[in-house]
């Protein structure tokens, strides 16, 4: 697990996008990385994986703010032929977002990615406090959705979400979801659930199966749903963080939200978007 104390430093360099047009809604963006450096004069890009890359329908590679339109690919070497917009050099290992050209319409990147990896956006400030000392250790309830407010200061395409787990862990399955201010689902992990695999009082990341380009600065709501009662998550114990939070009963795999309008103790999970 990445060093969570780097989050504060990464916050200022988070995924930023400036929007001139509308956003794609719940599109199946695919993420990979470059596996070799790319020169500004190159007409090919070598990727770590080519899932989601195609010429028919045409796809676009979004690399550190540069759009590259796919014109051909080698499924053995993962070398992709591209035509480029505002070409510039990129290092090996930088994130690449794959999608249809219209999904990126109106997006002009300011500082979309860090050269060494993705940035992190937490719902509350974090310091050097031991992870097991944050908030309350809260038991999950099968089907119940635990929700917290998260402020997104700029536009971004979130890859997934991390949740801080508590003192008791198991192989219960989890779904993470992101809703907009009106309670509309904009991103979620697999609806079948993903089993927890980790230690107590640690962060657990799950990549979104469906995500969207989301607009900021705006309030969003991050939710966690479990299919069992064994695992614990850490939740906000007081309203001092000035975050809305609630829990609501539900059915595992069904994601709906009436947004919270107040703070309810021990219901809002500690989360981050990445």
The closest of 216, 148, 208, 139 to 170, measured between CA atoms, is 139
pLDDT tens-digit series, residues 207-240: 999 888 788 889 999 999 999 999 999 999 986 6
Partners of 69 in the β-ladder: 60, 83
- Does position 246 have pLDDT exceeding 90, yes or no? yes
- What average pLDDT does the segment 34-63 reach? 94
Q: How high is the mean pLDDT of the chain? A: 84
Specify burial of residue 231 (Cβ count, 10 A radius: 0-12, 13-18, 19+): buried
Considering only residues 7 and 181, tell me which one the structure prediction assigns the higher pLDDT: 181
SS3 readout for 81-117: EEEECCCCCECCCCEEEEECHHHHCCEEEEECCECCE
Cα–Cα distance between 43 and 79 in angstroms, integer?
Answer: 10
pLDDT tens-digit series, residues 128-158: 899 999 999 999 999 999 999 999 887 788 8
- Does position 14 have pLDDT exceeding 50, yes or no? no
pLDDT of res. 157: 82
Cα–Cα distance between 235 and 164 in angstroms, integer?
Answer: 8
Cα–Cα distance between 140 and 249 in angstroms, integer?
Answer: 11
pLDDT of res. 27: 63
Q: Is the overall model pTM greater than 0.85, yes or no?
A: no
């Amino acid at each position: 697990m990445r060093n969570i104390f780097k989050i504060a430093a990464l916050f200022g360099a988070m995924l930023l996008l400036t929007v001139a047009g509308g956003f794609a809604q719940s599109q199946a963006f695919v993420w990979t990385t470059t596996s070799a450096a790319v020169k500004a004069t190159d007409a090919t890009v070598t990727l770590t994986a080519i899932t989601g890359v195609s010429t028919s329908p045409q796809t676009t590679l979004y690399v550190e703010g540069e759009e590259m339109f796919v014109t051909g690919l080698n499924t053995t070497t993962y070398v992709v032929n591209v035509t480029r917009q505002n070409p510039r050099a990129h290092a090996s290992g930088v994130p690449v977002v794959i999608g249809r050209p219209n999904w990126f319409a109106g997006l002009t990147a300011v500082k979309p990615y860090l050269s060494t990896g993705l940035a992190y956006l937490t719902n509350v400030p974090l310091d050097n406090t031991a992870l097991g000392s944050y908030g309350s250790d809260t038991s999950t309830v099968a089907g119940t959705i635990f929700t917290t407010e998260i402020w997104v200061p700029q536009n971004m395409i979130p890859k997934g979400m991390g949740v801080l787990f508590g003192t008791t862990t198991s192989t219960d399955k989890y779904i993470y979801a992101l809703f907009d201010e009106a309670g509309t689902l904009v991103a979620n992990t697999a609806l079948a659930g993903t089993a927890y695999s980790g230690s107590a009082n640690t962060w657990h990341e799950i990549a979104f199966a469906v995500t969207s380009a989301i607009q900021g600065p705006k309030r969003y709501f991050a939710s966690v749903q479990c299919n069992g009662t064994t695992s614990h998550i850490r939740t906000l114990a007081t309203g001092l963080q000035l975050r809305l939070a609630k829990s609501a009963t539900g059915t595992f795999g069904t994601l709906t939200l009436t947004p919270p309008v107040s703070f309810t103790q021990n219901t809002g999970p500690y989360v981050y978007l990445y």
